[in-house]
Amino acid sequence: MLKVGLTGGIGAGKSEVSRLLVGHGAVLVDADAVAREVVAPGTPGLAAVAGAFGEEVLAPDGTLDRPKLGSIVFADPGKLAVLNSIVHPLVGARSRELESAAAEDAVVVHDVPLLTENGLASLYDLVIVVDASPATQLDRLVRLRGMTEDDARARMAAQAAREDRLRIADIVIDNDVPLPDLQRRVREVWDGLARRAAAGPE
Q: Which CATH architecture has domain 1-26+106-202?
A: 3-Layer(aba) Sandwich (3.40)
- CB contact set of 103 (below 8 Å; sequence gap of 6+): 1, 27
Low-confidence ranges of the chain (pLDDT < 50): none
User: Residue 196's pLDDT is what?
Assistant: 93
Instruction: Name the DSSP class of 26.
Output: P
Q: Rounded to an integer, what distance in angstroms lies between the CA atom of residue 82 and that of residue 68?
A: 16
User: Residue 7's pLDDT is what?
Assistant: 96
Query: Is 101 strand, coil or helix?
Result: coil
User: Residue 154's pLDDT is what?
Assistant: 84
pTM of the model: 0.86
- CB contact set of 64 (below 8 Å; sequence gap of 6+): 39, 46, 49, 57, 58
Element at 172 (helix H, strand E): strand 171-174
User: Residue 202's pLDDT is what?
Assistant: 57
- CB contact set of 183 (below 8 Å; sequence gap of 6+): 20
Burial class (CB in 10 A: 0-12, 13-18, 19+), 118: middle
Residue 176: CB atoms within 10 Å:
14
Q: Rounded to an integer, what distance in angstroms lies between the CA atom of residue 140 and that of residue 135?
A: 9
Residues of the chain with CATH 3.40.50.300: 1-26+106-202
User: For residue range 29-39, what is the model confidence (pLDDT) as tens digits?
Assistant: 999 899 999 99
